[in-house]
Amino acid sequence: MSAGAAEQDPFSAPFGSLFGDRMTLATLEPGSGYRYPGHAVALENLSLHPGTHALHYASACFEGLKAHRQADGSLAIFRVDDHAERMVQSVQRLSMVPPTAELVRTMIVDAVEANASFTPDPPGSLYIRPTLIGTLVNIGAAAAPSDSGFLYVITSPVGDYFAGGIRPLTIHIETEIPRTTPQFGMVKSGANYVMALGPTLDAKRDHAADQVLFATGGDVTETGASNFFLVDDDRLITRNLDESFLHGVTRASVLTLAADLGYEIEERSVPLDELEAWVDHGEAFLSGTAAVLAPVGTITIAGDRLQVRDGQPGANTLRLREALTDIQLGRADDPHGWRTPVEG
Ligand SMILES: Cc1ncc(COP(=O)(O)O)c(C=O)c1O
């Protein structure tokens, strides 16, 4: 049993620090593609040569999705195909041999079934982490992709991403340092996250911020781990997609649900000036697999602290959050086919 997941409470342990005790693992061998035995194995340490490509040249990427205990006691994964496809896209950007989305999906389903008993009841869930690392042993291969690798799926019983449940967050706006490079923004690669770490730690220390909202040159995009929205009673606004930031699956879900509920949708650039004016009357929130929908209560920018309306979670944010979680948790119909039922 790793990290005592069976005994520890996912609601008090830090998000992602407990693990289910099984994993699925496939190996990529040069010239012969991915080999997956077709079942989960015990979660064990990986043995890596110190000259492994991923450790030196960041040939690594991952996904993050969740399985939720349903209202009827069954278990379902949320939007598994979309996450599998995004994983394939990330691997392509690393210039490694991509697995098929079908293989990634199968390995996710098998890993969830093998760890189903670790799933906490809502608002907890089983967080799922598909991962690929390049295992070529060559410290001279800075300009060559890894032609071998480990593709694996591990799971983590989780409570709330933001300690304290639904509470209005404080976000700091960073206008100078970008989150990552423009061509890698849509890749879920660890290097992106370490690039965002410095500004995030500074914002936590200097502005008591929960997250940094990156708005390079005044162009509001995303935070270090979630997408960003403005909403009022009529309209939902978010940055239009390009390669510079992550195409969130939650973002896509919120846009679909908001359209279903009759909101006018605006996917376009969001200038910083507009955001500053918006918060007098409108709401702002973050979206992500981990964050779900998290209301923003305060924005700090260049030494100023702006309160978002009355600083409390807004009615539209809570309405959209509920529409999303109702589908995730099987409390509502699934008109868009987002739930995949699994054994357990
Ligand atoms: C940088 C970044 N943006 C946005 C998101 C939200 O994406 P999703 O809704 O697919 O979890 C995430 C989380 O995965 C992220 O890491």
> For 98-134, how does the pLDDT look when each residue is reduced to its tens digit (9 = 90+)?
999 999 999 999 999 999 999 999 999 999 999 999 9
CATH annotation of 169-328: 3.20.10.10
- CB count within 10 Å of CB 196 equals 21
- Residue 160's pLDDT band (boundaries 50, 70, 90)? confident
Q: Do domains 2-158 and 169-328 have the same CATH topology?
A: no
Q: Which residue has the higher pLDDT, 226 or 160?
A: 226
C-alpha R_g of the chain:
20
Q: What's the pLDDT at 2?
A: 45
Mean per-residue pLDDT, 162-178: 88
Residue whose CA lies nearest to ligand 1 atom number 15: 225
Q: Parse the chain into domains and list their residue ranges.
A: 2-158, 169-328
pLDDT at 1: 37
- In percent, the amount of the chain with pLDDT more than 90 equals 93
Nearest CA to ligand 1 atom 1: 225
- Does residue 185 have a pLDDT over 50? yes
Q: Assign 145 to helix, strand or coil.
A: coil
Which tokens go with 142? 């800075």
pLDDT for position 3: 52
Ligand 1 atom with minimal separation from the 252 CA: 9
Rounded to whole angstroms, the Cα distance separating 189 from 64 reads 12
pLDDT at 271 over 80: yes
Q: Top-level CATH class of 2-158?
A: alpha beta
Q: What is the pLDDT of residue 305?
A: 95
Residue list, ligand 1 pocket, CB within 6 Å: 64, 222, 225-227, 246, 248-251, 287-289
Q: Give the separation between CA 162 and CA 177, rounded to whole angstroms.
A: 24
